[in-house]
Amino acid sequence: MKSRLSYFLISGVIILSFFIGIFIWRSKHLKQVPKFNEETFNAPISSKYIPTNTDLVFHWKLNPATLPNYIENYQAKINKNNINKKISFIRDSSFKLISLDFANDISKWVGDYGSFATFDSNKQPLNDWIMVLAIKKDVNIEKELEFILDSQTTDSNNNPSNKLNTPKTEILSKEINSNKSIFFAIDKENLLIASNPKIIQSSMEDLDKNIINTKKNYKNIQLKDNLKDGLFLIEISPKKILNLIGQEENLFKINEIDNLISSINFDENKLNIEGIISYNIKTKMPVKDINYNLMDITKESELSENFILVDNPKQYFKKNSSHPYQKLVASLIQESTTLDSSNLLKIILENSKGNLIWLNDKDWLVITRKSDTGKGEISDILKKENFLSSNLDFENRNLEIWSRISTDENKKYELKDTIEAIIEEDKENYIWSQSLSSISNFDNTNYLQIYSGNNQKINKINDFEDVLRIHLGEQKTKTVLNNFYPYILFKTMLGNKLTPPKNINISIAVPTINYPDFIKVKINLKTS
């Protein structure tokens, strides 16, 4: 239990750091952040010290010492001091998790980049970790390190356990308690800190040998070329970390993801997250199944507060679904429609092979192409459940109503009329709902346009094609995030004072090549 808790605290650094962006942007207007998203994934120099057997890697490209003051400069006067304290608290608490005092020991000399990683070096529950911090120019780091190590360094000649010499590296230690020490080594403009001296030694040896396992790293190299650079960069194995801390997380199926490579950027009042998710499961996908054709909607601003655009939902909801990303897509759709889920919605998703649009204001409706929807199969399912169809002329609309009369067993029996489906059709589309007002208020059926990709994008080569786009307003965003474990953890750390984003946009894209075991995810959070 103790080792599991220790690992949990270390992994908390990355979870906390990941969501710090949400808190910063909800606190408003950090404007002049360097923009990295015009280039591909490019980890800082500190990444060269990170071993290849990591479960979690976190890189940053903004000096953590100046971050609170930098954010404070863009606040209203009344908020300046409060914001500075909160950001400083989050930063300092993160370093304390690995027994480092940032304010007193590190802030004076730390540079503009760094890396932190945890990994399972001995296949034991308590993982090791390493942190690499950039050193400012003209800083006497040896003297600063003496201050961190306190009296131990000055007495190192009489205390052999404090100094470990390797052929090219001097490793110093600081005792935290009788059972724990942390270790330090200086290499040019970087300071290496680790939970085990062997980690530093191995890191330096690998660096000197310039070891590159091309075969092992090829996939990550390929994935990073398809990912934009960021202010924060993350490489993580969600499956391994959740298993080690004993946390089963089914939301978004992140407990099945082998690797996640992600970048985080800020843009005015938006937090932009882009990531590549990969799986070790190899599934041969027929070429004909990867001709994705997501609808091209030019006026998304006219859609409802909540909407989902999905290509070929049938492949994600059929019972014999086998591709790894199908579970993720299905989970995203299910979590986004939780409060509106019904048997009818499930049936439509299972029987629509083309483009589908789900819209929701007060009530939901679904739009599908007639050529892509198995209406006959849906009707057969409704008949088996004892629903009967009838026609209704309403406000110059010809509606098909599927309903069922049953008894409501109260103190006395009463008849209950249940409407399962209301369907309107035009020349090309079906509109599905369970609400008469929802259909009657919907007057534009031109959402499902014929996607003219061959005409418009014939010269554009895309490595990924979108298969899902989700937009959720504030209330649904809050509902989804409040069921997401990392968000719950971060919110708890802030005393439940974290205000949810105003809306969230999520898109999922799959490779255009026949390689189904990784996908691209984009998430945009609007905070004000």
Classify 230 as helix, strand or coil: coil
Residue pointed to by tokens 């890697």: 57
Task: Write the DSSP assignment of 317-380 as a string of letters.
Answer: HSTT---HHHHHHHHHHHHHTGGG--HHHHHHHHTB-SEEEEEESSSEEEEEEGGGB-HHHHHH
Give dist(CA 479, CA 117) in Å, integer.
Answer: 31
Query: What pLDDT does residue 9 have?
Result: 47
Residue type, 450: I
Q: Please tell me the predicted confidence (pLDDT) of residue 243.
A: 67
Task: With CA atoms as reference, report the closest residue to 507 among 340, 292, 351, 215.
Answer: 292
Specify the pLDDT at position 515. Answer: 62
CA 314 to chain centre: 24
Q: Which residues, at least 6 apart from 45, have a Cβ–Cβ distance to it below 8 Å?
A: 113, 134, 189, 190
Give the list of residues 6+ apart from residue 425 with CB closer than 8 angstroms, or none.
370, 400, 431
Q: What is the dihedral of CA 218, 223, 229, 233, to 10 degrees?
A: -80
Q: Where are the domains of the chain?
A: 2-131+197-270, 281-526
pLDDT tens-place values along the chain, 528 residues long: 444 444 444 445 545 555 555 454 444 444 455 666 667 888 899 998 988 778 888 899 888 887 766 655 545 555 566 666 777 777 887 788 788 888 888 988 999 999 998 877 555 545 688 999 999 988 889 988 888 886 343 333 434 445 555 556 788 988 888 788 889 999 989 999 998 898 898 888 877 665 444 444 545 556 677 788 888 888 888 777 776 666 666 666 676 777 888 888 877 667 788 988 887 766 655 544 555 567 666 556 567 789 999 988 988 888 776 666 778 888 889 888 877 778 899 999 999 988 899 998 888 999 998 988 999 999 999 999 999 999 998 888 889 999 988 777 666 677 778 889 999 998 888 999 999 988 888 876 566 664 434 344 434 456 788 889 999 998 888 888 877 766 776 667 656 666 778 889 999 988 776 666 788 888 888 766
Q: Inter-axis angle of helices 2-26 and 77-96, to 10 degrees?
A: 160
Residue 375 pLDDT? 93
Q: Which of 311, 308, 272, 275 is nearest to 291 (CA)?
A: 311
Give the integer Cα–Cα distance in Å for 94 and 301.
39
Nearest Cα to Cα of residue 277 among 294, 253, 297: 253
Q: Which residues touch 451 (CB under 8 Å, ≥6 apart)?
A: 293, 294, 295, 296, 355
Residue 400: the pLDDT is 94
Q: Can you tell me the distance from the alpha carbon of 47 to that of 32, in angstroms, rounded to the nearest whole number? A: 25
Q: What integer pLDDT is reported at residue 365 of this predicted model?
A: 92
